[in-house]
Structure 1
Amino acid sequence: MEEYLRVSEVIDWDHPAILETAKTIAAGLDSQKAIAQACFEWVRDEIHHSVDYQMNPVTWRSSDVLKHKTGYCYAKSHLLAALLRANHIPAGFCYQRLSLDDNGAPYSLHGFNALYLPEVGWYRVDPRGNRPGVNAQFSPPQEQLAFTVRLPGEADFPAILAEPLAIVVEALQSQKTWDSMLGRLPDVCLKAAEHYGLMS
């Protein structure tokens, strides 16, 4: 589990603001499950999804997501991983490939998390933020993600990665505004999924 607890450039959970927030969220809670749920709900509800709220800047580093209180789904998953790891809960990254308009191409990756609880094992959660038609919840062992795969070009990749995909981080780093990012969302075609480690 060590690799799912590491500090990195993207998941900078040793940043003082993240450590303080993680401590505050966990205060008074006596189980990893309760702390994991509190961290998930905090990121889901308190950090604004860039598109839903049309907010800038485009964030990618966990501490910047916390500072600006906004991020795309990927960035929100980076912050949730940081808060979980700061509370000694292993956390990784998961991806789906989804249609942007629910009608086929174009497609893009959607990012969320998996966390490890001793009594449950790996459990996937999606902190992107709820809105009409999106109702992600924390209710292990029952999974309730924001989106389900329905179309032939879509995919729910099984891998739980210790670090976010490089193409996701690079896409976030390349854009400054939410609307420019919306036109350049990262994608991985189904044939290339194994190359990116998404099938393991």
Structure 2
Amino acid sequence: MVHGLVAVRFNGAWHRQDPRGNKPGVDARFCLDGERLAFVPDRASNELDYPVLYAAPHPVVLDTLTAARDRPHLWQTLPTAL
């Protein structure tokens, strides 16, 4: 499954943020001093971190979000790679 981060431009620099937020055991609060990701990619499971900032959502992700009838349908059709 693909998970997206958001980037905020502040004081001339881009800062990636994890929109999953906080919950017990997860510290992903807004921070400008460094990334606070909810989960670190697990390389043993072939998880990747694309360190690229896109000006617009990736077309595959945007198409999937646009075509989803509802959340259950979205969960069934989320892309697993870009």
Q: TM-score, with normalisation over the residues of structure 2?
A: 0.82
Where does structure 1 lack aligned partners over 5 or more consecutive residues?
1-107, 194-200
1:150 to 42, 53, 73: 42
Question: Aligned AA for 1:142?
Answer: G
**Correspondence for 1:112:** 5
TM-score (norm 1): 0.37
Q: What displacement does 1:140 show? A: 1.8
The residue that corresponds to 1:181 in the other structure is: 74
- Give the distance between the partners of 1:146 and 1:180, measured in 2 at CA: 24
Gaps of 5+ in 2: none
The one-letter code sitting in structure 1 at the alignment partner of 2:49 is D
Count of equivalent residues? 81
Cα shift at 1:132: 3.2
Match of 2:25 in 1: 133
Instruction: Please report how far the alpha carbon of residue 175 of structure 1 lies from its aligned counterpart in structure 2 after TM superposition.
Output: 1.5
Measured at CA, do residues 176 and 134 of structure 1 come closer, stay the same or move farther in structure 2, by a change above 3 Å? farther
Amino acid aligned to 2:76: G
Matched position secondary structure for 2:2: strand
1:122 is paired with a residue whose SS is strand
Computing the radius of gyration from Cα coordinates, the structure with the larger value is 1
Contact 2:8 2:15 in 1 (8 A): yes
Higher helix share: 1
Q: Which runs of 4+ in 1 moved over 4 A?
A: none
1:169 pairs with one of 62, 67, 72: 62
Say if 2:22 and 2:29, in contact at 8 Å, map to a contact too. no
The code of the aligned residue for 1:137 comes to R
**What's the C-alpha RMSD, in Å, of the aligned pairs?**
1.8
